[in-house]
Amino acid sequence: MGEVPLLFYGAEEEFYEGEIRDLILEMLKSYGRQVAKKSRREHILRDILENNEQTCMFEEKREEIKRILKGYTKVNDSLKRELREFGFLITKEGGHYKLTYNGDPRYLFTMASSGSDSQHGGGNLAAEIIGKVL
């Protein structure tokens, strides 16, 4: 362990404790699969990853949003309650709902009032949310 922190936080705020750290470690893991084997980059990445523990929050949140949206056919009170508990601000505009994650307008999603494709609509929205915020 060095005497100076490896990274300094910028102005970006965490949506939950440890979120930024987890995301950085996940990105490093992903990048680690692309670096040359037995290279200095691989050794440094492996050292950092082995010495920093991740929480399971990303995976838990990914599974939770998939569960919430699985096979939705219409937006009812129960679905709205679960989405709010997950961290979404929900507003209605015409035949669609706007979901804003943690009140941050950069993470805005559109959801039809009634899912015309109950087989895939919820899964597609979950994938979009996962790709953008989880």
CA 87, 27, 33 angle in degrees (round to 5)? 145
For residue 4, tell me if it sits in a domain.
no
Distances (CA, A) of 116 to 40, 44, 104, 111, 132: 51, 49, 27, 11, 23
Q: Who's near 79: CB < 8 A, 6+ residues apart?
A: 68, 72
Q: What is the pLDDT of residues 1-53, one digit of tens each?
A: 567 777 888 999 999 889 999 999 999 999 999 999 999 999 999 999 999 99
Please tell me the total number of residues recorded for the chain in this structure: 134
pTM of the entire structure? 0.84
Q: What is the DSSP letter of 116?
A: S
Structural domain span for residue 29: 19-50
CA distance 30 to 22: 12
Q: Are residues 66 and 103 in the same domain?
A: yes
CA distance 58 to 131: 11
pLDDT in the model for residue 112 = 87
Q: Are residues 69 and 43 in the same domain?
A: no
Q: Is the pLDDT of residue 110 over 90?
A: yes
> Which CATH number is 76's domain given?
3.30.920
What angle in degrees, to the nearest 10, is found between the helix axes of 77-86 and 57-69?
A: 170
